[in-house]
Amino acid sequence: MGSTELARLLSETEQVTPADGLQEKLAAGRPLRVKLGLDPTAADVTLGWAVVLRKLRQFQDAGHVAVLIVGDFTARVGDPSGKSETRPRLTKGQVDAYAERLLAQFGRILDMDRVDLRRNSEWLEPMGMEEILRLAASYTVARMLERDDFAKRYRENRPISIMEFLYPLLQGFDSVAVEADVELGGTDQLFNFLVGRELQRDWGMEPQVALTMPLLEGLDGVQKMSQSLGNYVGITEQPDEMFGKLMSIPDDLIPRYLLLCTDAGSEHAGSVRTGLDSGSLHPGEQKRELARAVVDLYHGVGAGKAAEDRFNLVHRERVVPDEVEIKPVPADLIVDGRVWVPKLLVSLEMASSNAEARRLIEQGGVRLAGVPIEAGQDEVGVESLRGQVLQVGRRRFVRLT
């Protein structure tokens, strides 16, 4: 493999351990087994996850084997990476439901016909006590406490369960099970990757190369993109929702999103940063470029421009889009001919809870036929709803029947 291809595979990476490890692996002249493990703990593939999935696709396109591990067993244990307290455990049913949804989305980025798709319950669930003890004996408590999040919790006398200590060992054993040459993931996974290298040595294998990618900040511009924080963009979200969310990111994140979420490349992202810093480029126009590129990537060429046109109608001319989803007013919400709007918003999936719906109304974010619904006046006659457009925020519309 030439230096150009090596540079492409290393582009945008945060750290490679050992530093020359990938070059040495490639020198063997055979397809590498490149592992990416994702725990199905939420329902959507976000642009944050897409950063590492897109890197895995680059390895695929270079002729290597993409080993995608659905961590259906480790998800039930709970990854402690970056956590300040013990995570609540998910049930097998919850994990399986998330896994089913995620598998339908991975194909937006990967060539699934060329993926070695595995579930780590294949080898972790049948483990007997003898194998678990061997695994546990391969790492010391002192080594575990070298991990920043564990060390911080230990200093602060916050609980750390033995099960959490097992997580890096279980993830590391995945690398043994699939004979990984390279493991991809976010920077918060480096400790787990290094455990995998140690376990591979213990099992008589050549250690994998740990290749980490940057963690993408969420829409708030501060914390890592996360579904639990609600600061995310999902790759299967509708074009209008995706475009609108991307228009809300802080200006200083535009070059980073261009670099990590699109095919713009480092040179273009760098020139945009220079232009924004000097004032020669307008942040709003650069956000539009970014949003169009991301929407095109996941919905097809032209989808971004169409979403932008609809965005302009709503935000500049305040016109209701031509295509608005039509839904009936649920009969079970009608009491004496009237409907309580917060409950209606939840039923229509325009709010996640009654509390959020009430908050949106109090902030003036809910409109009926273009008129804001006022707090305290949120019980509406059903006939006043039918035929009208209910709007939440600037991007969500439903015509009621």
pLDDT 10s digits, 99-139:
999 998 999 999 999 999 999 999 999 999 999 999 999 88
In this structure, are residues 70 and 117 in contact, taking their beta carbons and an 8 Å threshold? yes
pLDDT of amino acid 324: 75
Token pair of 28, please?
């063997």
Residues carrying CATH 3.10.290.10, the chain: 325-400
* Token pair recorded at residue 274: 């220079």
- pLDDT higher than threshold 60 for residue 1: no
Residue 102, CA distances (Å) to 10, 34, 37, 98, 341 in order:
26, 20, 13, 6, 32
Reference 249, options 212, 289, 213, 210; nearest CA is: 289
d(CA 127, CA 105): 30
Segment 350-379, tens digit of pLDDT = 888 888 888 888 888 888 867 788 777 778
Band the pLDDT of 160: cuts 50, 70, 90: confident
Its pTM surpasses 0.85: no
Architecture of 325-400 per CATH? Roll (3.10)
- 398 versus 87: the higher-pLDDT residue is 398
| Spatial CA neighbour of 234 closest among 47, 50, 57 | 47
Nearest residue to 348 via CA among 319, 323, 326: 326
> DSSP characters for 19-81?
TTHHHHHHTT-S--EEEEEE---SS--BHHHHHHHHHHHHHHHTT-EEEEEE-TTHHHH---T
Question: 340 has which bridge partners?
Answer: 379
Q: Are 32 and 65 in contact (CB under 8 A)?
A: yes
Chain region(s) in the chain for CATH 1.10.240.10: 239-315
Written as one letter, the residue type at 61 is D
- pLDDT number for residue 316: 62
Confidence (pLDDT) at 393: 81
Give yes or no for residue 222 having a pLDDT over 70. yes
Class of domain 239-315 as given by CATH: mainly alpha
Give the type of residue at 366: V
Alpha carbons 79 and 62: distance in angstroms, whole number: 30
Dihedral sign, Cα of residue 36, residue 227, residue 326, residue 297: negative
> What pLDDT, on a 0 to 100 scale, did the predictor assign at position 229?
84
Check pLDDT > 70 for residue 395: yes
Q: Which tokens in the block code for residue 307?
A: 């979403």
Give the residue among 188, 39, 46 at the shortest CA–CA distance from 121.
39
> What is each CA distance from 346 to 26, 360, 394, in whole angstroms?
52, 12, 17
Within the chain, all domains assigned CATH 3.40.50.620 are found at 3-213
Sign of the CA dihedral with 368 first, then 374, 378, and 384 last: negative
Cα-Cα-Cα-Cα torsion 342, 347, 349, 355, nearest 10 degrees, comes to 30
pLDDT in tens, 295-333: 999 999 999 999 998 888 776 655 566 667 888 889 888
Place of tokens 């939840």: 346
Residue range 373-401: mean pLDDT, rounded: 80
Rg (CA), the chain: 24
Return mean pLDDT, the chain. Answer: 89
So what CATH class is 3-213?
A: alpha beta
